[in-house]
Amino acid sequence: MRGYGRVMTDTVFSLGGELPLRRLGLGTGGLVGPGYWGPRGSRSDAVALLRAAVAQGVRLVDTADNYGPELAEELVAEALHPYGDGLVVATKGGVVRTGPDEWHVAGRPGELRRMCEASLRRLRVERIDLYQLHRFDPAVPMAEQLGELARLREEGKIRHIGLDTVSAPQLREALECVPVASVQNPYNLLDRSSAQVLALCEERGIAFLPYYPLGSGALTGGGAAAVTGVAAAHGAAVGQIALAWLLHRSPVLCPTPGTGSPAHLAQNLAAVSIRLAPGEVALLDAVAGG
C-alpha cells in the first residue's frame, strides 16, 4: 500500500469519525464530457491528472457511477488502484444518466443494490469507503432506500453512507434511519441556500461536500468586487479565495472542485495555504448576504 505526505491539522476532517482526510479534495466531473456524458480529452491525460492530485496531497476523490456514465469510476480505478493508505474514494448511485444533462432517479432497493455492486466492480474494491445516495427517489419511501444502503453496509460493501441534495428536514429524517457520514449540497460564496443543512452537519459532525464550490464558474470569471479585492491582497486567483473561504467558513466543509487541467488543479490545491484575516472572512461572508 502506498502512503502520502503530512497533512496540516487544521485542514483535516475525520469522515465518519474514523477516516482522516484532507478537506480539499478532487471531484471527477471535470474528467468527463459536457453534461457528464462521454470523455473530455484523452484518457491518459485524465489518468495523469488523478495521479497528480494524489501526489499533491488529495485524500478524497469524489466520483459517481453516472459520470460518463461509468467512465469516471473506470478512470479512478485505472489511475489509482490499488488505493493507498489514507485515500478515500467516494462514489454515488441512485440516478441513471440517459444523455448529456439527462437523467432520472432510480431508488428502488434492487436498483440501488445493482448500482452499488457495479461500482464495486468498476472501482475494483470489495468495500466503498463512502457511498452517497445521489437523489432520494420520491416514488420510493425514504426508509426503503436507506434500508437497502444499511444492508449493503452490514454486508461490508459500504463503509459509510452519504446523501446528495437533501433538505434539513430530510437529513433529520434520514438520521433516524442510518448513520450519515456526509452530505453533498450546493454551497459557495454566492449560494448559501443550504445554510440550515450546514448547521445540522456541524451539530452532528457530518462532512459537507459543497458542490459547485466555485459557483459554477460565476466567481472564477471575475466575481464580486469584494472577492477580487481579497484575491489581489493575497496575490491569489478569485477561485482560490472562494475555496479558502469555504475552508474558513466551517470545519465540516470539504470542497471537492473538479478540473481537467493540471495547472488549475495545482491552483485549487494551493488554496489550502491561504490564511484569511477575520475582516476578510467577514467581507466575503457579506458577498451573498452572509
Annotated catalytic sites, by residue? 67
- Give the C-alpha distances (Å, rounded to integers) separating 211 from 134, 147, 187: 12, 26, 6
Orientation of helix 262-270 relative to helix 43-55, angle to 10°: 20
In sequence order, the 6+-apart residues with CB closer than 8 A to the CB of 208 are 182, 183, 184, 185, 187, 194, 197, 198, 201, 250, 252, 253, 254
Q: Which parts of 79-194 are beta strand (E)?
A: 88-93, 95-99, 102-105, 128-133, 158-164, 182-184
Tell me how far apart the alpha carbons of residues 34 and 188 are, in angstroms, rounded to a whole number. 22
For residues 149 and 159, the answer to whether their CB atoms sit within 8 Å is no
Tell me how far apart the alpha carbons of residues 3 and 207 are, in angstroms, rounded to a whole number. 23
